[in-house]
Structure 1
C-alpha cells in the first residue's frame, strides 16, 4: 500500500486534471488547487465530460461515474489541503513558480508522505531546495493524456529518502501506472531522448527542408510512429516544448536541445499548438481541450 488515501493536486490544467481523474478512478480522494476560479471551472467541466464519456461507452457504470466524481473537490485555498497524505504539483515549467509552491506546501503539510513534482525537465533537487524537508521531495512525472498513458518516471533527488521513494512507487502502482526510475537530471529518460528528435524536426521545417505534413508523414509511414514530430509538439504544447528545451540546454549546453528560433516566435505569438488552436497546424475550436 502507498499510504496515500487523499491526494492533493496543485494545478487544474490538462495534466493536473488527468492526474486527479486517474487517482479518483483508483479510489483515492482528491483535492485540486488553483488560485483562480476560471481554471477550476474548466477542470471540473473537463472531468465531468471525461467521466460522462466513460459511462456512455460502458467503461463505468452510472454509479461508478458518480462516485468517482464525488471523490474530487476543487479549491482556491491551499488550506484545504490540510489532511492530504501526499501532493503532486502540475503547474507551469518554471522553477521559481514550483519552488514557491513547494515552500508553502512544506510549511503547511508537515506530515505529508511526499511532495512530488510532475515536472518534465526541471531538476528535482532545485525544487527541493525551497523546502526544509528535501527528503520527502520527489519527481513523479506522468505522461499525457494521464488516464491513458501507463508510464510514470520516478525521479530521486540527492536528498530523497528511501521511504519517499518506496511510497512514490507504491502510489504509482495504486494508480495502475508502470514506474521507471531515473536519476535527477533535466529531461529524465523520455525527454532526454525525445526532445532532440522533436527539435530536429522543427529545425527541418524552419529551414524549408520539407513541409510539416511531409515531415510528419515521413516519420509515421517510414518509422511506424503513431504521430509525427510536429503533430506531437503541437499536442504537447509549444510553450511546454520551449520550456523543456530551455531547461535541457541550460543543464547540458548541447545545441540539439536548444529551441529553434521559430519555436520562440510561435510561443510569443500565443500559438501553443492544439490547446490554443494553432501551432504548426491549425485546429478547429471544437478540438481545443477545455482544460488545457
Structure 2
C-alpha cells in the first residue's frame, strides 16, 4: 500500500516509521522545513529500535525502512504523489480549524478512492469527515506514542463512515501487527476520555503542593502497574499537546475536570515542553536517566500565589 502522511512531528514520524517498516511506500510532508529534514535519520533509528523489540533480526532494517520513505519539501509535489496513494493520513496539530483548512485544500485534489485517516486523539470525526468531502471514507486511526512500539490503535468512525472503511482500516493495521479497537466519537474518544481527567488531576495536586513528580510517578508504577507515571507520560506527550487536547475536550464537553490547570499553561509559556525540549516535569539532560524536577515554583496555595501569575 501507499500512504501520504502530512505532519512529521513525533506522531507523524512514528506513523511514517511504522508504515515504512512494514514495507509500505510512504510520502511525507510538513510545512515546517526543519521538521521534514530530520525525518529519514529519525525513522532509521526508530525502526532499528522497533525491530530489536520485535525480535526482527535484520541489521539492514533501518536502511530498508528509509528506502520506503519519500519526503517532499514542496506541498504541490506531495499532493501530486498523494494522488497515487491509498490513504491520506493527517497527523498535524490538534487544531480543528487547521485540520479543516488542510482537508479543504488537499482532499478535493485526490481521487475518490483515497481513504482519509486522521490521527487526532480527541477531535470530533464527524466534523473532520465532512471537511474531507468524503465522510464515508473517513476514520480516526489514533496511534499511541511511540507508534512502532505500541500495538493499540483507536479507531473512531464518523456517523457516515462506511463499514468497508472501518474494515479496511482494521485489516490494514492488523497486517502491520497492530491491535485496533473501536472507540466512541465523544470528546477524547475512549482512551483520552478516561486518561485526560486523571492526568490533569495529577497536575492540580502537584500545583497544590500535595504530591511531587517523583512520588506521584512511583505510586502509579508500583501500585497500578503503569509502565511509567503520569508526569513522565505527559513529558512524552508534550505539554503543548496536553494543553491543546485538554482545551479542545473542555470546549466540547464543558466538563470542569478538563479545564487546563495553571501549571500546564505556565510550563508551555516557559518552553518546558517535556522530553522534546529537554525539560518538563522531568529534566531530560540525560535522556536515558531523566530526573524528576522540583516544581515548587509553580505551587498555588494562597490567593497571592494565584494573582502573582498575572504579574
In structure 2, the residue matched to 1:43 is 39
Asked whether the equivalents of residues 217 and 232 of structure 2 are also in contact (C-alpha less than 8 Å), the reply is yes
Asked whether the equivalents of residues 50 and 148 of structure 2 are also in contact (C-alpha less than 8 Å), the reply is no
User: Residues 44-94 of structure 1: CA distance to partner in whole angstroms, max 9, x if unpaired?
Assistant: 220122245567897342444433221111112233322011121111110
In structure 2, the residue matched to 1:12 is 8
Where 2:182 maps in the other structure, the secondary structure is strand
Q: For 1:73, which of 70, 73, 82 is the aligned residue?
A: 70
Q: Go from structure 1 to structure 2 and tell me whether the alpha carbon gap of 1:235 and 1:184 turns closer, same or farther (over 3 Å shift).
A: same
Q: Go from structure 1 to structure 2 and tell me whether the alpha carbon gap of 1:53 and 1:178 turns closer, same or farther (over 3 Å shift).
A: closer
User: Residues 190-242 of structure 1: CA distance to partner in whole angstroms, max 9, x if unpaired?
Assistant: 11111111011000000011221111122222222221111111111111111
In structure 1, the residue matched to 2:299 is none
In structure 1, the residue matched to 2:56 is 59
In structure 1, the residue matched to 2:150 is 149
Structure 1 position 6, deviation (Å): 0.5
Q: Go from structure 1 to structure 2 and tell me whether the alpha carbon gap of 1:233 and 1:86 turns closer, same or farther (over 3 Å shift).
A: same
In structure 1, the residue matched to 2:191 is 190
User: Residues 240-263 of structure 1: CA distance to partner in whole angstroms, max 9, x if unpaired?
Assistant: 111111111112211111111111
In structure 2, the residue matched to 1:140 is 141
Gaps of 5+ in 1: none
In structure 1, the residue matched to 2:86 is 85
User: Residues 139-162 of structure 1: CA distance to partner in whole angstroms, max 9, x if unpaired?
Assistant: 110000000000001100112122
Asked whether the equivalents of residues 5 and 16 of structure 2 are also in contact (C-alpha less than 8 Å), the reply is yes
Q: Go from structure 1 to structure 2 and tell me whether the alpha carbon gap of 1:201 and 1:35 turns closer, same or farther (over 3 Å shift).
A: same
- In structure 2, C-alpha distance between the alignment counterparts of 1:108 and 1:134, rounded to whole Å: 15
Where 1:183 maps in the other structure, the secondary structure is coil
Asked whether the equivalents of residues 273 and 280 of structure 1 are also in contact (C-alpha less than 8 Å), the reply is yes
Q: Go from structure 1 to structure 2 and tell me whether the alpha carbon gap of 1:54 and 1:254 turns closer, same or farther (over 3 Å shift).
A: closer
In structure 2, the residue matched to 1:103 is 104
| CA-based RMSD | 2.0
Where 2:232 maps in the other structure, the secondary structure is helix
- In structure 2, C-alpha distance between the alignment counterparts of 1:155 and 1:55, rounded to whole Å: 28
- In structure 2, C-alpha distance between the alignment counterparts of 1:184 and 1:40, rounded to whole Å: 31
- In structure 1, C-alpha distance between the alignment counterparts of 2:27 and 2:12, rounded to whole Å: 11
In structure 2, the residue matched to 1:25 is 21
User: Residues 161-190 of structure 1: CA distance to partner in whole angstroms, max 9, x if unpaired?
Assistant: 222112111121121111110221121111
Bigger relative CO (Cα 8 Å, ≥ 6 apart): 1
Asked whether the equivalents of residues 113 and 164 of structure 1 are also in contact (C-alpha less than 8 Å), the reply is no
Structure 1 position 122, deviation (Å): 0.7
The alignment's TM-score, normalised by the length of structure 1, stands at: 0.91
Where 1:154 maps in the other structure, the secondary structure is strand
Where 2:38 maps in the other structure, the secondary structure is helix
Asked whether the equivalents of residues 274 and 281 of structure 2 are also in contact (C-alpha less than 8 Å), the reply is yes
Asked whether the equivalents of residues 102 and 115 of structure 1 are also in contact (C-alpha less than 8 Å), the reply is no
The alignment's TM-score, normalised by the length of structure 2, stands at: 0.85
